[in-house]
Amino acid sequence: MSVLYLNDSNGYIAREHLNVSTLRQMDCHDGKLPYHKYKPGNYVWYMIEARQEGVSSKLQSSYEGPYIVTETLSDLDYRIQKSKKDKGRVVHYNKLKPHEGNVTFNWAKNLARRN
């Protein structure tokens, strides 16, 4: 009986150490992830997941745009729009990449002030 109890308590201790180790590794990993908060009026690139058949993925561009953020739905979800006639799409932040450069859409000049 004492041997079974000893093995069970060792298993319990090992599981506790594994749980603590897992949480520590998750915190370290999550802290290194890039997280950008976008505001209405910011320009972004949108990640394309669909690939063309018959064309090497190395030769296809990974991002499309630039798009403009028109609305912040939550900390993680945004509405983006490419043109004035485009109805826009709701996307998660991990599909977006900040655009660097000088781009302005004439139809969206007052967007940041409006929201």
Contact (CB, 8 A) for 51 and 62:
no
The predicted pLDDT at position 9 comes to: 63
* Structure confidence at residue 2 (pLDDT): 43
Q: How far apart are CA 84 and CA 29, in angstroms?
A: 39
Among 80, 84, 78, 79, residue whose Cα is nearest residue 68? 80
Give the max Cα distance, the chain.
80
pLDDT of residue 69: 94
pTM of the model as a whole:
0.65
The pLDDT of residue 73 is 94
Reference 46, options 57, 54, 38, 56; nearest CA is 38
Determine the pLDDT at residue 1: 41
Report the amino acid identity of residue 38. Y
Q: 89: Cβ–Cβ under 8 A, 6 or more apart, which residues?
A: 79, 80, 81
pLDDT recorded at residue 80: 95
**Bridge partner list, 98:** 44
Encode the chain (115 residues) as per-residue pLDDT tens digits. Answer: 444 444 556 677 778 888 888 888 888 876 766 778 899 989 999 999 888 888 888 888 889 989 999 999 998 899 999 988 888 999 998 899 999 888 777 777 766 555 5
